[in-house]
Structure formats: C-alpha cells, structure tokens
Structure 1
Amino acid sequence: MSKWVIFGGPLQERWPYCEKRCSYCNFNKYIPRNLDEQKMRNCLVQEAQTLIQLSQVKRITSVFFGGGTPSLANPLTIAAVLDTVSQCAHLAEGTEVTLEANPTSADASCLAEFQKAGINRLSIGVQSLNNTELKLLGRNHTSCDALRTLEEAKKLFAGRTSIDLIFGLPGQTNASWIQGLEELLTVCDDHISLYQLTLERGTSLFKQVHQGSLPMPDPDVVSEMYECSRHVLQNSAFHQYEVSNFARNVRALSTHNLSYWQGSQYIGIGPGAHGRFVPWGDGKVHREARIQTLEPDVWMKEVLAVGHGTRKRTELSKLDILEEVLMLGLRMDIGITHKHWLQFAPDLSLWDAFGESEEVKELEECGLLLLDDKGLRCSWRGLAVLDSLLLTLLNQFQKAWVEREKTFNQT
C-alpha cells in the first residue's frame, strides 16, 4: 500500500476571495460579488469528501486554510470542512489546523469564533508596520490594525501565532526594514516568515516599477536586508529552520509546511488549489500533480457535476518526485537525511548521486554545502544562496539519474 495511506498527510483548502487585490499579488483571488457562501461551503465539503476518498488517505496530519483571505469566510464554513475531514479520515485531537488571516478581517470576536470552529494556529499577513509601505503594497490595514490583531491572536493562540513580513520593496532601505523588524520582535509571538518581494508581471506594482514611477529594488540592498534579518532574528533566539521561516521553539514550527518540504503527498481543495497524491481510487499507482479549476463559479459547477473541480492532472515520474524532494528538502536547515532520501530512492543514495561530483565538492570547500553521515544540507551561508546551489545540484542529480538508468537497463 502507499505510504500516503499508511502514514497520512496534510490537506490544504483555498478560500479564493479577498476584500481587494494587493498591488504585488498575482495569486488566484477574486473580489466577491453576491457570494453564496452556503453553496461555496457545500462545494468545499463535497470536494474534500471526493478527494479524500480518491486518495484513500486514512489519517490527515494537518489542515491549512489559505487563500485569498480565508479569515473572510464564515467560521461555520471552516467548521464544516473540518467536520467532513474528520468523518472521512482520522483527524486526531490537537492536529495542527492553520488559518491565514488579514488584520482587517480578524477582530477579537472573529478570531474566537475561528478557534471554536477548530483553528489552533494563526498566520497573520502583517507584511509591514510602516503605513507608507502598507499603502504601497495595496494593503487595507494600518500598523495599528496589525498590532491590535496580533495582540488578540496571541491571547487565543499563544505560541502558535505566526506573522508574515515582506522585504525588498521599491525605495525601502536596510535601515528602515531592520527598524520595523526589531519593532515587531518586541510584540510578536514565536514564529516569523520573511518573504522577499517578487515583482510579478501583471500586477500594479510591476507596472509602476517598469514604467519608472517607482525605483527598481537594488539586489545588493535586498540581499543585505535578508542577511541582516537572519542575524537580528538569531540574536532574538529565533532559529531559522527553513529559508523563509524562523521559530523560537519546536512547538512553533509549522508542521504542515514541514510535511510539504519533506515531499509528503497532500490534498488541495478549493478554486486554484494544488495537490500531490496517488489517486488509488481511480486505480492509479503513480503520484499526480493536480490543479483545481481557478474561477470559483466554474469550479463550483464542476464540483456539483462530478464531485470535484480538478482541472489538470499530471502524472509525476520518479525523476520529477526526486527533484522536488531535493529542491524542497534543501530549503530546511536539516536538509535531507539519508534515511529520508532512501524512502524515495532506495537504489540511488545521496552518496551515489553527489559523492563523486567535483562541483559538489567545490561547494563544500566554499562552506556552502555539507554532505556527510547525516545527509545533504546547506550551511548557514548556503541557505542564503540556495537558488544558485540548486542549479548545480539538479544538474548533477540528472547526470547521476541518467547513469543509474543506463546501469539498470543493462542489468
């Protein structure tokens, strides 16, 4: 049987609606017009039932409500999805259940209702404490809104409240960024996620920068921001356990994201959701990458017609899966252990793939990479330049895979 069936895995649900579109965001999101939430709720429940049955998963290890802005949903919708999950698979008491929230849609009473519905971890999109920067990003909350929501969240989700911050904005300086980060460190909980701004084509911010009305972020300054952030957080007892994520203690780690970075299979429900699982219910034996229909109204029609709104299914080869395990696993400070890697590639060890590579040895000598008895991982310095390391590592792995295939075919 599949490891997915035996060990279980995470489920993530997308709420596609937002109050407004932020200037930097190109995610699949919609401004609701006459939303029939009862219909949306019924469809989320139906799709969860269908895909859990299709995967034949027996235990859900975490649930993540992302978006869009899921804190705009009625808590009854959250409760209905969780109730469905617990009916279709085992959802143990205390399982991590995370909700992404924006300050303007998450006052104290609303947060309390989400807690009653089953949420036990919160991820708040603070992004900045500078009102000018918030306006530039198109956010509809102020610094005061963010701080008020954060204080209320810490009362209800003590030790399990995370905040998201964005750095590398046009015109932002390292000094102003660090000042804001240090201010937040005086009031934050035990988890922080830092994300470098990406200028996505089609967004308002991209247009403003490329038309010259806003300055292009200086790559050297952005790099300095990230490096200084790591030191500031380290000095405040935050441990960097992943490229963008920092936690004060083990309890604060995002177990949902850890499963994702470790290459676990997962179910995605809702408009535009992504999933990775073996559809045993269809008689398949290979993992598929699945994407749900983007547009909510069309997605709901498909769910009502056939039980789910999967728009695209792509069968993943063994090489596809191993490349994902490599790219995602190296995002974590612990990297990829030999034991974990062999679960995916029992006939091609990390030593076989990388041990004789001169390029990999050069990265080790430069203090960016470590390959030893523990496994393969980036150093502290290496995590900061992971994207450049992956080019070398993926190229080397593909060579090793070709050699492995030749040997296998000859025997």
Structure 2
Amino acid sequence: MFVLLKCSPGLCVLRTMLSVKTGTCRFRAALSRYRYRSGETRGNASGSGFEQETEKKCGRLSEEAAIYVHWPYCLRRCSYCNFNKYISRAVSQATMRECLERETETLLHLSQVSRITSVFFGGGTPSLAPPSTIAAVLETAARHAHLPGDAEVTLEVNPTPAGASSLGDFKVAGVNRFSVGVQSLHDEDLRVLGRDHSSQDALRTVAEAQRLCPGRVSVDVIFGRPGQTAGLWETELEELLSVCDDHVSLYQLTLERGTYLFKQVQAGLLGVPEENTMAQMYDSARRILGKRGFLQYEVSNFARNGAVSSHNMNYWKAGQYLGVGPGAHGRFTPREEGRVLREARTQTLEPDVWIKEVQRWGHGTRRRIPLEHLELLEEVLLMGLRLAEGVSHEHWRQFSPDADLQKVLGTSIEVQELQDRGLLVLDDRGLRCSWEGLALLDSLLPPLLLQLQEHGGQKGARG
C-alpha cells in the first residue's frame, strides 16, 4: 500500500512510503531525478519550444499558488520523526518573523503569482510560533497578491494544554482551519511515540478547535504502532470518530532509519504489527470511516460534509506552491526571471543558516531544478492517482495538451492488465484507481511511469 506518512505538506510531498501488501516501494528511480547537489541548478530553465507552448496554454496555473510556511522548532523530538525540525532553544521570534515575511515577499515576487489559493503553517510545531508571526506572514502575503477572505488557512497544532489555550489567538491572527496531531488515544502509545501530550489533552484540544472552527478541524492518527492489534485499532478509531470533526488523516507508522523508535525495534525492544495486520488495519479503517459518513478522497484522507482540504488538493492536483521557511519545498515557475519551466525548489534546512541567507538575499533557496515536461507529467500521475477521483482528461490536458491519457497509456499491455484485474480504470472520465487499487497504488505506478517515459522517448525521437 502506498500511504503518506505523517509529514508537513510542502516539506516532503513526493516522499515514497512503505508498502503494506506488496513490499517496499520499487519506483524510487522515478523520483531520483529530484535529488541534486546543494546549490545546483540543472538544465536550461528557458525550456524547449514545446514546453514554452505548453506553459502558455496553461498560464492560469502559473498565476496562482498555495503557500506552505515551515516553523522548524519543537519542544522535543518524537521517537518516529526524522523530518526537518529542531529542539526549541533561544529563538529570536522577531528575527524569525521578519525572515518569514521577507521570504514570502521574495518568492511571491519571483513567481509573479497574483492569487493565493491557501496557506498552510506546518512544522516542526507551528503552534509554538507567536500568533503575531502567523498574522504578519498572512498580512505580507495579502499585500503582494490577492488572498481571498475565505481562503483556507491551516495551522498544525500539537495538542498540549499550552497549544489548546492559544487556539483563539491563532484564529484572530487569521487561521480558519486546525490540523490536530492526536496520533493516538492511548497514553502508553503516546509515550512510546515520544509525544508530549496525553489522550485527554488531545480530546480537549479537538473540542476547543471545533468550538472555534466548526467543520474545519482535521485530526491526524497513526496506525501500526508497536503492540497494536487490529481489534485495538478498530476500537480506538470508533472512539476517535465519536468526538472528531469532519476530516481525518490516517498515517501508517513507518520506521525511519536513525530514529529512536527504529533503533528500539531493531534491538528487539519493541515489535510492530506484521504487514498483513497493517493491511487489515487500513482496510477496516476505510470501512469504519465510510459507515460514519466519511468519504475517502485520497489515499490517507477522509472527509464528510465537504470538508476536503483545499490546500492538500492543490498538491495532489500538481498546482503551484511556494515553500517558505527552513527546509520547505516548493513548485513554481519563477516568471520574474523570464523562466517558463516550473522549478522544484528546496529551502536551506538549518534555521540559523537560512536566516542569514534570507537577510542577505531575501530568500534561502538552497536547491532548484527546472522540471522538464516529462517530469512534470510524472508528478501529475504520482500525485493525481492518490486521489479517489484520479486524473481527469481535462486536468491532464492542462499539462499535456497534445497527448491525452488514452494516447499515452491506452495502448499499454501492462495498463490493460491492471484494468482487467479491477485495479485501474481508464474511461471517459479519466484515469483512477479502483477501491482495491487505491490500497495498492505503489504496485500500480511503475508500469504507468514506464509507459509515460516510453511515450515521451518516442515523441522525442520523432521530434
């Protein structure tokens, strides 16, 4: 199963995940092209004639973008986490605020974005940031582009008593959606995960968030935890659904090399569920959520009453996004520089170094890669097939006006076999996974990517 591990959007959107049913994901080679040396810019960002024409035909895609803002500090490091975060120490709040504002302004200028579709504050623990910093970033964004009054503005919240008490201030600052990191309702499991809150803290935080932003609260929960059984998981999920709002994100626990939890499992001090049990947990969660009125709109995300995350939908639909803050990732076309190709950008990881770079140059972009047309189409497939709706023909044509899905994938024997097995659907609506296929996405992607690459190679040879 191809499942999005818990991570901040904009920080690791294209991360490949541990498979539950079919073994470790085998298509890392398709993503290896996105790794590059610090400071390197690859290729000719002015683009080929074909790529320039494609960009013109989907110009609207370059005129709007989401913004991801990364707050890198935490009070402690969770035992399973290997993301870009730093234990909070003497942080100059004024300096961080000024640098986040300045980088937001610079990237908006570089991208020439005229409309901001959503803003997401992730981390780290962004609920440790002063609400005044959140307000300042939003005000800066609104000064340099159109930020609609009803645009989704999400803040990730660590459900500690301190975090819950500040939610009202964050709402005043401009936040209108909270994503609460519940992770578990079992205190012992929270201790093993290294979390600094209790189950009661989490429930109180969810209740306060719902009071402030009813219908706009998401809860994150991790399954596959050490010692967890399928029965315990189903009971816990039912309890969570009795108190949660209208959005749930499920994340399979993945043991990341170098983390404390990984070392404990390797040493035999802790055991995690077997892959078949993990698969059972995921399948039962989908059924339970469905009975409670939640629609699965993405591999790991479920919503009812239309409470879909518009910010995350922008990622999955291959929209532009600006990554602000240490270690943030972005995808946008730097039109102010006269570029026509979208670039994959990564900001400097270390906060102290990032601050110096922003103060000197206005931004802390460490790495940038112009994405060739084939690479962009790969992202459209990789991200779009995570959605239950898949990739529509209309959406595909925005990125590939001269080669539709049927032309690119319809003649593939491997793709036809996946359809015959009931895992994939290619019809007049577009390309999407079936219910069974969505749980096996990692095994479906390699032949699709290979066929896309072969079609691109044939087109290049003819050209």
Partner SS state of residue 10, structure 1? strand
Distance between the aligned counterparts of 1:98 and 1:188, measured in 2? 17
1:213-292 alignment, distance < 5 Å: 213-250=269-306, 252-292=307-347
Q: Structure 2: how far apart are the matches of 1:105 and 1:163?
A: 16
Aligned with 1:63 (options 119, 122, 126): 119
Q: TM-score with structure 1 length normalisation?
A: 0.97
Task: State the 1:87 CA deviation.
Answer: 0.1
2:145 corresponds to 1:89: yes
Shift of 1:147: 0.4
- The one of 157, 166, 183 aligned to 2:239: 183
Cα distance in 2 between the residues matched to 1:145 and 1:222: 27
SS of 2:360's partner is helix
The farther-off stretch of 354-363 and 10-19 is 354-363
| Structure 1 residue 397: Cα displacement | 1.5
**Counterpart-to-counterpart distance in 2, 1:248 and 1:271:** 34
Distance 2:316 2:359 in 1: 33
Q: Which one of 365, 372, 375 corresponds to residue 310 of structure 1?
A: 365
> Which residue of structure 2 lines up, in the alignment, with residue 375 of structure 1?
430
Query: Aligned with 1:140: secondary structure?
Result: coil
Opposite residue 60 of structure 2, the aligned amino acid is: K
Q: Secondary structure of 1:9's partner?
A: strand
Aligned to 2:192: 136
Residue 98, structure 1, aligned to residue 181, structure 2: no
* CA-CA distance at 1:106 after TM superposition: 5.1
Task: Name 1:403's counterpart in structure 2.
Answer: 458
Distance in structure 1 (CA, Å) of the matches to 2:338 and 2:250: 41
Q: Does the CA-based 8 Å contact 1:167-1:194 persist in structure 2?
A: yes
Q: 1:30 and 1:254 mapped to 2: Cα distance?
A: 27
- Asked whether the equivalents of residues 57 and 89 of structure 1 are also in contact (C-alpha less than 8 Å), the reply is yes
> Does 1:3 pair with 2:56?
no
Residue 211 and residue 275 in structure 1: after superposition, are their counterparts in 2 closer, same or farther (change >3 A)? same
The question of whether the paired residues in 2 share the 8 Å contact of 1:106 and 1:149 is answered with: no
Q: State the alpha-carbon separation in 2 of the partners of residues 400 and 245 from structure 1.
A: 32
Q: Given that residues 161 and 201 in structure 2 are in contact (C-alpha distance below 8 angstroms), is that contact kept between their aligned partners in structure 1?
A: no
Which amino acid is the alignment partner of residue 41 of structure 1? R
Counterpart AA for 2:327: G
Matched residue, 1:365: 420
Give the stretch that moved more between structures: 398-407 or 321-330: 398-407
* CA–CA separation in structure 2 for the residues paired with 1:13 and 1:106: 21
CA drift of 1:221 comes to 0.5
Matched, 1:146 2:195: no
CA contact (8 A) 1:71 1:106 kept: no
* Deviations 1:189-217 (CA, angstroms, capped at 9, x unpaired): 00000000111111001111111111243
Q: How far, CA to CA, are the matches of 2:125 and 2:111 in structure 1?
A: 27
1:322 matched to 2:403: no
Post-superposition Cα deviations, 1:317-364, rounded to whole Å, max 9, x if no partner, equal 111110000010000010000010011011111001111111111111
Question: Partners in 2 of 1:297 and 1:107 — Cα distance?
Answer: 25
Shift of 1:394: 1.0
Q: Residue 125 in 1 paired to residue 181 in 2?
A: yes
**Contact 1:348-1:404 at 8 Å conserved across structures:** no
Code of the aligned partner of 2:178: L
TM-score, length-normalised on structure 2? 0.86
The equivalent of 1:110 in structure 2 is: 166
Unaligned runs of 5+ in 2: 1-55
Aligned residues of 2:391 and 2:430 also touching (Cα < 8 A): yes
- Whole-Å separation in 2 of the counterparts to 1:136 and 1:130: 10
What is the CA RMSD across the aligned residues, in angstroms? 1.0
Deviation at 1:283, TM superposition (A): 2.0
Code of the residue aligned with 1:320 in structure 2: it is E
Instruction: Name the CA shift for 1:363/1:106 in 2 (closer, same or farther; >3 Å).
Output: farther
SS of residue matched to 2:264: helix
Aligned to 1:162: 218
Question: Partner residue of 2:27?
Answer: none
- Aligned-partner Cα distance in 1 for 2:299–2:214: 24
Q: What residue identity is the alignment partner of 1:270?
A: G
CA distance in 1, matches of 2:369, 2:453: 20
Residue identity over aligned pairs, in percent, reads 58
Tell me how far apart the structure 1 counterparts of residues 131 and 310 of structure 2 sit (CA, whole Å).
Answer: 23
Q: For residue 282 of structure 1, report the CA deviation from its aligned partner.
A: 1.8
Q: 1: CA distance between counterparts of 2:228 and 2:271?
A: 10
Report SS of the residue matched to 2:73.
Answer: coil
Residue of structure 2 equivalent to 1:198? 254
- Residues 1:75 and 2:120 are matched in the alignment: no
Q: CA deviation at 1:133?
A: 0.8
Letter paired with 1:29: K
SS at match of 1:139: coil
User: Bigger CA drift: 76-85 or 32-41?
Assistant: 32-41
Deviations 1:24-67 (A, max 9, x none): 00000001211101100000000000000000000000000000
Shift of 1:186: 0.5
Question: 1: distance between equivalents of 2:354 and 2:310?
Answer: 29
- Residue 20 of structure 1 pairs with residue 58 of structure 2: no
How much has 1:249 moved relative to structure 2?
Answer: 2.0
Q: Distance in 2 between matches of 1:122 and 1:318?
A: 35
Q: Is the 8 A contact 2:157 2:163 kept in 1?
A: no
How far apart, in 2, do the equivalents of 1:133 and 1:105 lie? 19
**Residue aligned with 2:86, SS:** coil
Displacement of 1:4: 3.7
- In structure 1, how many angstroms separate the alpha carbons of the residues matched to 2:119 and 2:161? 20
Per-residue CA distance 1:278-309 (angstroms, 9 max, x = gap): 11122222111000000101100000001000
